[in-house]
Amino acid sequence: MDKDDVYAALGVRRRINAAGTLTRLGGSLMAPEVVAAMAAAATQSVDIAELQSAASRTIARITGAEAGLVTSGAAAALTIAAAASMTRWDIGKMAALPHAEGFAHEILIPRTHRTGYAHALSASGARLVDIGHNDRATGAGVRGLEAWEIETAITPGTVAFAFSANPENIPDLPMVVAVCKPCDLPVIVDAAAQLPPRSNLRRFIESGADLVAFSGGKAIGGPQATGILAGRRDLIGAALVQQLDMDVAPASWSPPDLIDRATLKGVPHHGLGRGFKVGKEEIVGVLTALERFAATDDVAANARLEERLRRIEARLGGLPGIHTRLLPASETGRVPHLHLVIDAALARVDAIGLSKRLQSADVPVHLSERLAQRGILIVDLQVPPPEADAAIAESVRRALAG
Ligand SMILES: *Cc1c(COP(=O)(O)O)cnc(C)c1O
């Protein structure tokens, strides 16, 4: 069955995703080398714990962390990161989760870092404690999070600090680490979508973060249902043992070194993360993709994306009601984007209306709606192959015509 038939047989339409590596559109597309590695992995039996140990070595080498594990997405990685921060090696606490009322279970989170994905942290049973103000984003003032605000918020009930990274707030991370480290509070970084640049694979760990979550199915180009948690060896071990299948005979259980059997009071049961399991195919797939991604040249890749965006821009010249603006990676902090700025009066359709028309075309086209309220649709070419570019431009032209 070829790639067109597999979805057609299910009555599901093929789409062009020029909106970024969005999960709801299936994330990134895997390179043939990654597909082949997954297919090969699917035909042999292995011990998943041993395979996760191998994954840990690869993730450690590439991120600079002490250890790492593969989970079913960055959101799952955040949930087990929160769990590990609460339990450490205490199997009684592991058994209690997500009911954490009986022990320290508070995670500090700056109000400016509150994303919809914060739910992944609280799903562990942890309670999020909001700190700081949002003066900059609301336009109310100039001040951001300050060290004393974190110090004041730390209590015996605090188990971790949650940091949702973006290009604007990354410079705050060393300050956060400087406050949290002396208190033995793990700093958990949500870096799910902070790749590229490739240098961010190491940046958060270098800044002192204890646990960093990356999406495997976004820019890394691995299977959609994978994520990576990289970080401190003890915390990764405590997270791993809460994700692994634990239907084991205690007498014959021989976990990998990553799991500190001597410190565990007994053999834990299936943990909070058991539902975030990944198969051998996903682990091998994301490791293969990670090796490829770590070897890419950001500058060359961005130059290719910019060149493609420039050609799309040229095809859209002279259309009534829209003008274009090309933003290089240096301006977006990530990859180059083409902004389609829509003058709703002239175009007789606003940005969301245009997006709706694009999505209802015979071959639906998705552009990013992130700035639609400001009248802007964003073309992001991380996912579609160059062969799709002409169709993207043509669809915009047709959608504008009604
Ligand atoms: C995509 C995303 C996630 C979730 O990643 P998955 O791999 O889909 O679970 C978490 N946080 C942020 C900021 C994201 O963009």
Q: How far is CA 393 from CA 175, 229, 314, 343, 351, in A?
A: 45, 38, 9, 18, 16
Contact present, 270 and 287 (Cβ < 8 Å):
no
Distance CA 294, CA 396 (A): 34
What is the residue-averaged pLDDT of the chain? 96
**Residue to mutate, 190, 215, 220, 383, ligand 1, most ligand atoms under 8 Å from C-beta:** 215
Q: Is the CB of 74 under 6 A from ligand 1?
A: yes
Give domain limits for the chain: 6-24+297-400, 31-294
The verdict on domain 6-24+297-400 having CATH code 3.90.1150.180 is: yes
Nearest to 371 by CA among 45, 11, 19, 46: 19
The verdict on domain 31-294 having CATH code 3.30.70.270 is: no
Q: How far is CA 14 from CA 11, 56, 365, in A?
A: 10, 36, 10
Q: Whose CA is nearest to atom 11 of ligand 1?
A: 192
Nearest to 175 by CA among 163, 191, 158: 163
Residue 79's pLDDT is what?
98
pLDDT band for 373, please (50, 70, 90 cuts).
very high
Q: Is the CB of 359 under 6 A from ligand 1?
A: no
The percent of residues above 90 in pLDDT, for the chain, comes to 97
Distance CA 66, CA 145 (A): 28
Number of Cβ within 10 Å of residue 363's Cβ equals 12
Average pLDDT over residues 365-376: 98
pLDDT band for 3, please (50, 70, 90 cuts).
low
| pTM (2 d.p.) | 0.96
Contact present, 389 and 311 (Cβ < 8 Å):
yes
**Which residue is it, tokens 């297919």?**
39
Residue 20's pLDDT is what?
97
pLDDT band for 317, please (50, 70, 90 cuts).
confident
pLDDT band for 5, please (50, 70, 90 cuts).
confident
Tokens of 329: 């990676």
pLDDT band for 402, please (50, 70, 90 cuts).
confident
pLDDT band for 4, please (50, 70, 90 cuts).
low
Residue 86's pLDDT is what?
98
Which atom of ligand 1 approaches the CA of 217 most closely?
A: 7
Which atom of ligand 1 approaches the CA of 215 most closely?
A: 7
The percent of residues above 70 in pLDDT, for the chain, comes to 99
Distance CA 385, CA 391 (A): 11
Contact present, 382 and 392 (Cβ < 8 Å):
no
Q: Is the CB of 66 under 6 A from ligand 1?
A: no
The 10s digit of each residue's pLDDT in 151-186 is: 999 999 999 999 999 999 999 999 999 999 999 999
Q: Determine whether 12 is exposed, middle or buried from the number of CB atoms within 10 Å of its CB (0-12, 13-18, 19+).
A: exposed
Average pLDDT over residues 304-317: 96
Q: Determine whether 400 is exposed, middle or buried from the number of CB atoms within 10 Å of its CB (0-12, 13-18, 19+).
A: buried
The 10s digit of each residue's pLDDT in 29-75 is: 999 999 999 999 999 999 999 999 999 999 999 999 999 999 999 99
**Which residue is it, tokens 């996760």?**
52
Distance CA 53, CA 50 (A): 5
Residue 2's pLDDT is what?
63
Which atom of ligand 1 approaches the CA of 193 most closely?
A: 15
pLDDT over threshold 70, residue 193: yes
Residue 344 Cα, ligand 1 centroid: separation in angstroms?
32
**Residue to mutate, 71, 78, 117, ligand 1, most ligand atoms under 8 Å from C-beta:** 117
Distance CA 310, CA 313 (A): 5
The 10s digit of each residue's pLDDT in 212-248 is: 999 999 999 999 999 999 999 999 999 999 999 999 9
Residue 133's pLDDT is what?
94
